[in-house]
Amino acid sequence: MSLSNETAPAAGRAWASKEEFIGCVKLTDWILLLILFLVLLGSFHIHYMLLAGDWDFWIDFKDRRMWPTVAPIVAMCFAAAAQSFFWQKFRLPFGATVACFALLVGEWINRYDNFWGWTFFPINLVFPSALIPMGFWLDVVLLLSGSWIVTAVLGGMGWGLLFYPSNWPVLAQFHQATEVDGVLLTLADLIGFNYVRTGTPEYIRMIERGTLRTFGKDVVPVAAFFSGFVSMLVYFLWWKVGGWFSTVKYLENDDV
């Protein structure tokens, strides 16, 4: 005797009514989007914090050479993968922006609740890098061009070039020069030296130094241009990675 389908309202069919189906679709779409958002957040965040985290955590790591080079390149991976999925499978042009937004939600919660709330660093020291304008740019290029190749080339370069200007309105004040005990340094450095961390020693801190700092005015454009170049390459690769993780293949039970 059947335990289920003899009393089902629509035997042999999945849905009892159109209303039930429509209601389920509307609700489940939002739930699936929430699942995608939360997993993107978690995966992107662990990727970003362990590949570019130190530059993103601390104001005294946000220099003109390493930070604008590393952060965009690392962030491009998940932006490209998310675009690959949302664009190829659903023609939705918001993959990069959603990925950046997800990352920033996770970062801001952490910087407030943990960096400030648990270990008492001021928010001025630990605010995350802005990425949303770059996400917009990448999505707009994909939407208008409809081509992932064009997006890799134009979008990738723009992604790298936009990073520093997008962050400059917040960052500029911390790059003001100051003198302490006869040493010239930035306000960002000064804040950092007042909050000693295990990443504080100068042989650990990876920031611009040496002659490039002396010839400082050209460092940012060069770093941004290089970052854009690598971001283009990373986009190509991670568009494919996103496609590969969208696989709907099955293995036979005997295969594993």
Partner 1 sequence: MSLTTEKAGVSAKESAGSIVNYRPAYLAMAALGTFYVGIRIYEQYFGWKAGLDSFAPEFQTYWLNIMWTELPLEFLAFCAIGGYLWKTRDRNIDAVTPREEMRRLITLIGWLLVYAFTVYWGASYFTEQDGTWHQTVIRDTDFTPSHILEFYLSYPIYIIAGWGAFMYGRTRIPQFANRISLAFLMFFAGPFMIFPNVGLNEWGHTFWFMEELFTAPLHWGFVFFGWFGLAMFGTVLQILGRVIELSKEFEKDVLAI
**With binding defined as CB under 8 A, does residue 8 bind partner 1?**
yes
Among 165, 186, 197, 211, binds partner 1 (CB under 8 A): 197
Yes or no: say if 135 and 77 are a contact pair by the CB < 8 Å rule: no
Which residues are 184's β-sheet partners? 179
Q: Which amino acid is at 161?
A: L
Chain residues 201-230 in contact with partner 1, contact rule CB under 8 A: 201, 204, 206
Please identify, using beta-carbon distances, which residue of 113 and 218 lies nearer to partner 1: 113
181: number of CA atoms within 13 Å, CB side? 1
**With binding defined as CB under 8 A, does residue 68 bind partner 1?**
no
Q: Which amino acid is at 218?
A: D
Find the part of the chain contacting partner 1 (CB under 8 A) among 8-16, 144-152, 179-187, 221-229. 8-16
The alpha carbon of 90 is separated from its chain's Cα centroid by a whole number of angstroms, namely 21
**With binding defined as CB under 8 A, does residue 118 bind partner 1?**
yes
Token pair of 71 as six digits: 């952060």
Minimal distance, residue 141 CB to partner 1, in Å: 21
**With binding defined as CB under 8 A, does residue 22 bind partner 1?**
yes
Q: How many CB atoms lie within 10 A of CB 191?
A: 17
Can you list the pairs that 87-96 forms with residues at least 24 positions away whose Cβ atoms lie under 8 Å? 87/142, 87/148, 88/243, 88/246, 89/246, 93/139, 93/140, 93/142, 93/143, 94/139, 95/139, 95/142, 96/134, 96/135, 96/136, 96/138, 96/139, 96/142
Find the part of the chain contacting partner 1 (CB under 8 A) among 2-10, 147-155, 162-170, 226-234. 2-10
**With binding defined as CB under 8 A, does residue 253 bind partner 1?**
yes
**With binding defined as CB under 8 A, does residue 65 bind partner 1?**
no
Minimal distance, residue 119 CB to partner 1, in Å: 4
Find the part of the chain contacting partner 1 (CB under 8 A) among 133-141, 143-151, 180-188, 191-199. 191-199
Q: Report CA torsion sign: 225, 228, 234, 236.
A: negative
**With binding defined as CB under 8 A, does residue 249 bind partner 1?**
yes
Among 60, 63, 107, 139, binds partner 1 (CB under 8 A): 107
Chain residues 26-45 in contact with partner 1, contact rule CB under 8 A: 26-28, 31-32, 34-43, 45
Polymer length of the chain:
256
**With binding defined as CB under 8 A, does residue 148 bind partner 1?**
no
Among 112, 117, 146, 178, binds partner 1 (CB under 8 A): 117
